[in-house]
Structure 1
Amino acid sequence: MVGRVELQLLLGLLEAKALRFTHEALVDYHGEWGQRLIDSELMLPSGYDTTVTDEKDDLAYEVGYDNRKGALGYHHPLRGWIGVPQDSLRFYVPDLAAIFALLLGSELRPLPTEPNPLEGPAIWDVGKARLTNTELRDVWFARRLSDARMFEMLERVVQRRPSQQLRLVLTTTPATRLPDRQVPGHKIVPIDDVLSNTNIGIDIAILRARFGGQPPPPGAVLHLSEDNRVLTIHGKQLFFRKGEIIRSILRQLYDAYPSGWIRTSEVLQKACSAASSIDQAFGARWHEVKSFIEQRGGMCRFNPYLS
């Protein structure tokens, strides 16, 4: 049985450049947590390594089978024959069907089989899930979206396989590392953002809320999404996937709008910011919002008609 530590390790491993791991990487480096991923069959054996790195001289040696000794090992020029346990030579690969059975369980339709690869070891069609009250929606999995090439790959796959309905893309890439741009018709949700606080897996209620976030009301001049990540001003959308401080400031300003001003020092303190002003807290993104955030006499507010 895997716990929260093993699940976080697994999500991190799925961001690796290559989805093939040595026994050393899983067990020697990650210890009992890596072993539990193997024991739970979330990592499956997939062939053997043919070389090993000697722990004393840090050089690679070819592994062979000695018929007289009836064992695997290698010949060291100074220390002679050195045996190597067969298990230590195993490669392991993630079992995506088992992983999504763990994450989503019976929410997937059909029940998890082997996910269908859409592009290399990067993007898969996982199945469908009931993400709204009435409809099943496509669920994809994409990894390493912080890599510009991987994100562009996702955009190309979307162009080849467009959808008339909003499609969910789950990713192991943390929210803080996602590019600040959208893929039209697709909702990208980091798995780590929607994990349950009580069970091992995704909290489907949180996932549905993230997927079905309410759009701005018709004619709304200013609107901030429930997760504080999308600010709509005069119909233009600004995305804030990174920066807890910025999102906290946006939420405070939005909750105060349009009733009036709020004290800047209190806003910054609540956002856990060490900045001395709102523009300083926004940093490089200030130019995007300065035309509708007003500051005066130690106070601040949203003002969509400022410019």
Structure 2
Amino acid sequence: MLGAETVSLLCSLLEAEEPVITGYAVELHPMAAASLIEHGLLVPAGYDDVIGVETDGQEELVSVFPIDDGSALGYLDRYAGFVAVPPERLLRRRVDVSEAFRYLAVLLDVPRSHTPAEIVEGLCWDLGSARFAERPQRHSVWFARRLWDAATRKSVQTMLERRPHIRPRLILTSSTSSAGEFVVPPDTLTISVLDALKSPSGKFRFMLRALLPVGGA
């Protein structure tokens, strides 16, 4: 299971318009980023054209460019001249959303045969149905990101109205705050992934305990 620091980095990336992390940012979060890479949640997505370097005791971003013969990439240092940079330090990585959903599906005990369905393009997905609180019935589980954005909240709310469910529904989110009123049906619970990790059990499938009495078993 991913640690809290790793999940926090993953959620922060999912909250960006484009869930991408630069090589420079990877260096700022070495352990968390390494864990995401190891689990296949961060995949290569091109190269940066800037890098963080220390100049006169202060760190700054400098432009990276190829050497004349194209054999290396680097930056120009006022004292050392051209300094080559290993390609891996410039590699950008993107969150593999599909792999992230597979990870959540394991925690939620969602049938592997289910393929997450996009509900709001790039923002909200139906992860399938999961059992909670040791009850036999399965409940609908959605995942949404960027719920602090008013337009996103409105889009998700519209889809909730269009797709009612006979049992309580859980919306997992990478957002830590909806930054305003996120109005959902009374039988729907929204919880951040980070808050779910704080539960005594540490397992997502217990997160619906508080919701079940509202909509019944």
Q: Structure 2: where are the runs of 5+ without partners?
A: none
Q: Which amino acid aligns with 1:188?
A: T
CA distance in 2, matches of 1:195, 1:183: 22
Given that residues 105 and 127 in structure 2 are in contact (C-alpha distance below 8 angstroms), is that contact kept between their aligned partners in structure 1?
Answer: no
Q: Which amino acid aligns with 1:89?
A: L
Q: How many residue pairs are counted as aligned between the two chains?
A: 208
Q: Residue by residue, what CA displacement relative to the aligned partner does 1:114-170 show, whole Å, maximum 9, x if unpaired?
A: x433334321222222348344333211112122222122123335x4224343211
Distance 1:164 1:7, change over 3 A: closer
CA distance in 2, matches of 1:173, 1:120: 17
CA distance in 1, matches of 2:196, 2:113: 20
Q: Residue by residue, what CA displacement relative to the aligned partner does 1:149-206 show, whole Å, maximum 9, x if unpaired?
A: 22122123335x42243432111222x555344222633222233326577x63412x
Distance 1:18 1:210, change over 3 A: farther
Report the secondary structure of 1:118's partner residue: strand
TM-score w.r.t. the length of structure 2 is 0.75
Given that residues 145 and 151 in structure 1 are in contact (C-alpha distance below 8 angstroms), is that contact kept between their aligned partners in structure 2?
Answer: yes
**Are 1:32 and 2:26 matched, yes or no?**
no
Report the secondary structure of 2:164's partner residue: coil
Given that residues 129 and 141 in structure 2 are in contact (C-alpha distance below 8 angstroms), is that contact kept between their aligned partners in structure 1?
Answer: yes
TM-score w.r.t. the length of structure 1 is 0.56
Given that residues 66 and 73 in structure 1 are in contact (C-alpha distance below 8 angstroms), is that contact kept between their aligned partners in structure 2?
Answer: no
CA distance in 1, matches of 2:114, 2:46: 24
**Displacement of 1:65 after TM fit?**
5.8
Given that residues 67 and 74 in structure 2 are in contact (C-alpha distance below 8 angstroms), is that contact kept between their aligned partners in structure 1?
Answer: yes
Report the equivalent of 1:171. Answer: 173
Report the secondary structure of 1:91's partner residue: strand
Given that residues 24 and 51 in structure 2 are in contact (C-alpha distance below 8 angstroms), is that contact kept between their aligned partners in structure 1?
Answer: no
Given that residues 196 and 203 in structure 1 are in contact (C-alpha distance below 8 angstroms), is that contact kept between their aligned partners in structure 2?
Answer: no
Give the root-mean-square deviation of aligned CA atoms.
3.3
Distance 1:10 1:112, change over 3 A: farther
Report the equivalent of 1:209. Answer: 209
Q: Please identify, of 161-170 and 141-150, the stretch whose mean Cα deviation from structure 2 is larger.
A: 161-170
Report the equivalent of 2:188. Answer: 186
Report the equivalent of 1:150. Answer: 152
Q: Residue by residue, what CA displacement relative to the aligned partner does 1:259-293 show, whole Å, maximum 9, x if unpaired?
A: xxxxxxxxxxxxxxxxxxxxxxxxxxxxxxxxxxx
Report the secondary structure of 1:110's partner residue: coil
Given that residues 194 and 202 in structure 1 are in contact (C-alpha distance below 8 angstroms), is that contact kept between their aligned partners in structure 2?
Answer: yes
Larger radius of gyration: 1
**Are 1:128 and 2:122 matched, yes or no?**
no
Query: Comparing both chains, which one has the higher relative contact order based on Cα–Cα distances under 8 Å and sequence gaps of 6 or more?
Result: 2
Report the equivalent of 2:50. Answer: 52
Alignment of 1:219-234 (within 5 A): none
Report the secondary structure of 2:35's partner residue: helix
**Displacement of 1:92 after TM fit?**
1.3
Q: Structure 1: where are the runs of 5+ without partners?
A: 217-307
Given that residues 129 and 136 in structure 1 are in contact (C-alpha distance below 8 angstroms), is that contact kept between their aligned partners in structure 2?
Answer: yes
The percent identity for this pair of structures is 28
CA distance in 2, matches of 1:212, 1:33: 34
